[in-house]
């Protein structure tokens, strides 16, 4: 973390072991983020994993844990950020909902950028793809 305090509407990039997790800072030390719900069903030694995502509001500290993180609004040069109140209201409107999670088309970074810019994009899965609303 670079020492700058996050502002409402900032995107938070969290460095996990093999990927980056993304969240939207909504103020008072809290973030809204999309995470994977793993549902396992075993059948004759075959395990099926259904990837469902859930949106939750939690403290930044709880989501980050011991990982490194940074404020990352790098797409501000490509897309115009929405007003902070709109970002926060939109992000919180998803809390408690479950949606399909797809690592390439609907991941936590897509969710976060959709809230900030109104456009779903991910640099993590290759070239940034501004595909409009995916939700």
Catalogue all structural domains in the chain, each as residue range(s) with its CATH number.
Answer: 11-117 (3.90.1720.10)
| pLDDT of 123 strictly over 90 | no
Q: What is the DSSP letter of 118?
A: S
Annotated catalytic, 102? Answer: no
Annotated catalytic, 1? Answer: no
Among the listed residues 1, 102, 108, 110, the single catalytic one is 108
Annotated catalytic, 108? Answer: yes
**CB of 33 closer than 8 Å to CB of 55:** yes
H or E element, residue 20: strand 20-27
The string of pLDDT tens digits covering residues 17-48 is: 888 999 999 999 999 999 988 655 554 444 44
- Tokens 């990837």 -> residue: 51
Cα 78 to chain center, whole Å?
18
Q: Tell me how long the chain is.
A: 135
Among the listed residues 33, 38, 102, 110, the single catalytic one is 33
């Amino acid at each position: 973390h670079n020492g700058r305090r996050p502002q409402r509407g900032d995107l938070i990039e969290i460095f996990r072991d093999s990927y980056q997790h993304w969240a939207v800072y909504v103020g008072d030390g809290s973030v809204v983020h999309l995470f994977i719900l793993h549902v396992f069903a075993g059948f004759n030694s075959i395990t099926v994993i259904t990837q469902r995502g859930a949106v939750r509001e939690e403290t930044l500290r709880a989501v980050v844990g011991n990982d490194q993180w940074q404020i990352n609004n790098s797409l501000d040069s490509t897309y115009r950020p929405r007003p902070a109140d709109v970002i926060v209201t939109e992000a919180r409107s998803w809390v408690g909902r479950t949606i399909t999670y797809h690592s390439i088309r609907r991941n936590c970074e897509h969710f976060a950028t959709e809230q900030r810019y109104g456009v779903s994009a991910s640099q993590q899965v290759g070239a940034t793809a501004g595909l409009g609303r995916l939700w």
